[in-house]
Structure 1
Amino acid sequence: LLLIGGPFAWAIYSDKRRKRQYLPPTIKIAGNGIKRGLTAIEAAVLLEQPVDRILTMMLFSVVQKGAARVLTRDPLKIEVLDTEGKELRAYEKQFLEAMSKPRKREKRKDLQDVLVSLVRSVNKKVKGFSYRQTRAYYQSIIKKAWQQVEQADTPEVQMKALEEALPWTLLDEDFDDRAEKIFRTRPVYLPHWWSAYDPGTQGAARPRQTGHPTGGAVSASPRGGAHPSGLPTLPGGEFAASVVSGIQNFSSQIIGNLTDFTSGITQKTNPIPKSSSSSHHGGGSSGGHSCACACACACAGCACACAGGGR
């Protein structure tokens, strides 16, 4: 049973992994030089980040630009605000249109279309450049972003550094552990727009004056607090948890099954190559082999592996 189950289990795993590989093969064709100038969201596609993380980054971006705000996180409800003069990118506008759809099925379908367009756009932008060198370049930016946040020595500088570096630090697979480690002994000074992303920190992120024309006290909040400078704060662990739970929340409430959702994108951006039939080779003597291959393909879609499309 182990001998039989092993190959089948591997085939199922490979099929699931293949469905999440949305980058088209043409993006990896050898080229020269580094493609600079990609946004953090475009770099996330190049690094083939999970799509729930990419969509959460889009949510961060439109909230930061003042084009939307989160009304509630559970259930996830988003209000689209005035987008005039907000300098939204094409994928951000498409994201807001998709999130405005009342039905979940329509929302999911439109979000898949947003990502298909984004993948194709990134593929076009990096065409002719070195895929390997460009990936390494943006991975180095992620490291520098963390250094920028870690080296900030005053509340004002840290808040500015965090606001600028946050989109890039989100590309780190170990974001929660890294953030908690950096902010273990100090609070996180939140950007002014943070309460529009996490309503639970509304009191902390919007300090108000009480009875004094300058300075003054900060309103109490169920989470977080404020530094004497007046800047809103949140414990490092809670900040990391807020970001990570936001990604998980978006995935569970909007996307659903991540593999199935991503598969709908992969089918358009990196479809499985059609395998050529080999039934006319070998005659009846190879019937047992053909049957085994057909069985495996039926169970786990391994035709892509047979055709070399699984890598």
Structure 2
Amino acid sequence: MAAVIASRVHELTVQRRPFVHATVVRAQQPTSAVPGDDAVILDDGSIEGFVGGVCAETSVRAAALDTLRDGQTLLLRVLPDGADAFPQAPGALVVVNPCLSGGAIEIFLRPVLPRPLLGVAGTATPIGAAVAELAEFLELEISKPMVYAGASAVVVAGLGRDDEGAIRAALDAGVPLIALVASRTRSVAVLDSLGLTEAERARVRPHAGLDIGARTHREIALSVLAEIIREIRTGGVTPPPVAPAAAPAAAAGEGRNLLPLADISEMSDMEVPRTAVDPVCGMTVVVGADTPHAAVDGVEHWFCCVRCRDSFVAAR
């Protein structure tokens, strides 16, 4: 199973699909999981792999989706009902799961988010080459030439070599930030020649880069990327959503090293899975096709496990 999950982690990373890698680090009998068991939780709440029975999965699924939203790693400790209190600590979350048959389990949740995608037009120029070189050092992912779908930003550094075409391509791809490397005078001339709408023009940064007194090609590249990173980090850039590649069937037997500059902004357009509160035990559950469910007196209810559902229905 470990080899299967490792392969899936690589595949999802290549696909640029957000997910959480969950690994059991400690388990107490009689829980069914053992240290080393792992799984991936996708952005739709589905789980591939094994980190415990259905009751433990309920807690893992809810916590994993939270880590996708904030990008932070988390140590999740799941206790059965009636267990001794365990102190909360930074980076850790303790939950009591009433439907656990016994035993505690600790699971490390590592969200893996796509690195920001950067387009660079004009890599043959000294400044364009310096931007690409520095972007690699900063662990930004460089898109293929003139393929800008899903990019957080595009740097146009052709220095007069079809800058207009690169800007138009980036605008048409929905790129939210286009950094034009040009003097103020030429920037105005380039933008005026394109006949942009007010909304399109607002997405282009003429004479891009923070004012750091840059003179050399590398210093100019640094100023441009500093402005882009500032926008990514402060939420000023939200890249257009890109549909993920189709996920293969889940592995048989299913029931931080946070990436530098992980693009949490890509999660802003994610369709957040629906949640509900189990009316028996009070747990928050993620509603999915396999979530125990019952309709009583015309009201829909979802449960953490079959036992809670059956006891609820029997009491009606």
Q: Which has the higher strand share?
A: 2
Q: Which has the higher helix share?
A: 1
Larger RCO (CA within 8 A; separation ≥ 6) = 1
Q: What TM-score, normalized by structure 1, do the two folds share?
A: 0.28
Q: What TM-score, normalized by structure 2, do the two folds share?
A: 0.27
